[in-house]
Homo-oligomer: A and B are copies of this chain.
Amino acid sequence: MADTSPRVHATRAPTLNDVAQLAGVSMATASKAVNGRAEVAEKTRRRVLAAASEIGFTPNGLAQSLVTGRTKTVGLLTSDLEGRFVLPILMGAEDAFGSGEISVLLCDARGDRIRENYHLKALLNRRVDGIIVVGRSTDPRNSLGQQLPVPVVYAYAPSDDPRDQSLAPDNHAGGRLAVEHLISVGRRRIVHITGDPGYAAAQDRAAGFKEGMAAAGLTPVDEVMFGSWTEGWGRDATAVLLQRHPDIDGFVCGSDQIARGALETLRDFGRSVPEDVAVIGYDNWEVLATNSRPELTSIDCTLQGLGRQAAKRIFEALDGAPVAGGTELFLPKLVIRGSTIASR
C-alpha cells in the first residue's frame, strides 16, 4: 500500500524451492510442511511456514495438478443465458466440498452447437476433473457421448442417453406440492395454467397437479390451460377462465411469469389476492416473486442442492465409485408468500 509506483508483473513468483532455501531444508520437506503432512517435525514446519509467508509463497496449482492428476476444477457447460438455473447450480457446486476447494469454469455456449464444442475442447484442454452440463429446460438434451475422458453429469436437463448420469427437478412432485398447498389453505375451485405443452416441465407439473386434485377428491374447474411461459399468456388465460368460471378460488401456475400475468388480470377483474383467489407460481425466481403485489408464493426447485450433488458425483466417479446411469430427481420445496396467505 505504501508503494505508489506502477506495478510491474515481471518478478517471478516465489517457488517452493525459494521457500526451501530460505528455511534451509530440502524441497521435499518444504512440500510436506506446506501441505500439512504428518512426517515433519513441528519445529521445521514452523520454520518453513514462516519462510513461506515471508516471501509470499503461493503454491503453483498448475504444477500440483500436473503431478497429482487433479485440478479441483469442474467445467459448467450451459446455454442458460439468463443464468436463472446455472447460477444456483454453480453456487452449489462451489460449495460441495467447502469454500474455495473447487473452482468452476463457466462456459456459455449460447445455444450454439459449434460454440459448445469449442468450449468442451477448452475444458478438456485445461484438464477439468469433470463437466456439469446445464440445459435450459427440463427436456432431455443430446448426450455429449460416452467417450469423454472425464466424468460428465447432466443437471436440470437430463441426458437423452440413459447411460449418462442426470440430475433433474421433480416437476411431478412440484405440481402436486403446489396444488396441495392451495387445498391446505381452503381452496376448492382450482385451475392450472401452464406453458408450452411441448415441454416436459409443463406435462410433468400438470400431471402432478391432476394427481394432487384427485387425491383430495377434487375435480379441476377446467382443463389444464397450456400456452407459453410468458406473462402475456398468464393474463390471457386468466381472463378466459374467469369469464367461464367466475367462482374460481385458486390458480396453480406453471411459472412465476404466468403467475404474474394472472395477478395482473385478477386485479383488472377486481378480485383480491389472496382473499378471493389464491395464486401460486413455479421456479421461485426472486426478482419476479418478491416484486409482485402481493408477493408470490412459489415452488423452488432447490437447484443449489442439485449443483452440490452434481459436483459430488463427479469426484465420486473419479475416486472409482460405480457410475449408475439414469436420472435422479430432486424434490422441490414450497416458498410461501402473500399470494396464498394473507399477511396479518
Contacts and interface: CB of A to CB of B under 8 A. Distances in A.
Contact of A104 (B60, B83, B100, B105): B105
Given A87-B108, A108-B90, A146 B1 contact: yes
A232 interface: yes
A132 B190 CA distance: 50
Contact of A127 (B3, B11, B62): B62
Contact of A82 (B59, B105, B286, B317): B286
Contacts of A94: 107-108
Contact of A287 (B82, B122, B323): B82
A85 to B, nearest CB: 10
A105 B100 CA distance: 12
A293 B232 contact: yes
26 contacts: A1-B145, A6-B322, A6-B323, A7-B147, A7-B323, A9-B151, A60-B66, A61-B125, A61-B126, A62-B65, A62-B71, A73-B126, A76-B106, A82-B87, A82-B287, A83-B86, A87-B108, A90-B106, A94-B108, A100-B122, A103-B105, A104-B105, A105-B105, A264-B264, A264-B293, A287-B287
Contact of A291 (B106, B124, B257): B257
A45 interface: no
A100 B115 contact: yes
Contacts of A118: 99-100
A313 interface: no
Contacts of A267: 268
Category for how many chain A residues contact B? 35 or more
Contacts of A65: 62
Given A73-B126, A231-B292, A83 B91 contact: no
A87 B91 contact: no
Interface string A273-291: 0000000000001111001
Nearest to A100: B118
A92 to B, nearest CB: 11
A91 B107 CA distance: 8
Contacts of A83: 82-84, 86-87
Contacts of A84: 83
A172 to B, nearest CB: 26
A126 B103 contact: yes
Contacts of A122: 100, 103
A146 B105 contact: no
A322 B9 CA distance: 11
Specify which of A4, A65, A257, A318 lies most central, judged by the most chain B CB atoms within 10 Å of its CB.
A65
Given A9-B317, A82-B286, A107-B103, A60 B127 contact: yes
A317 B147 CA distance: 39
Contacts of A76: 106
A147 B56 CA distance: 10
A146 B6 CA distance: 9
A142 interface: no
Nearest to A231: B291
A131 to B, nearest CB: 12
Contacts of A44: none
Nearest to A291: B231
A298 to B, nearest CB: 15
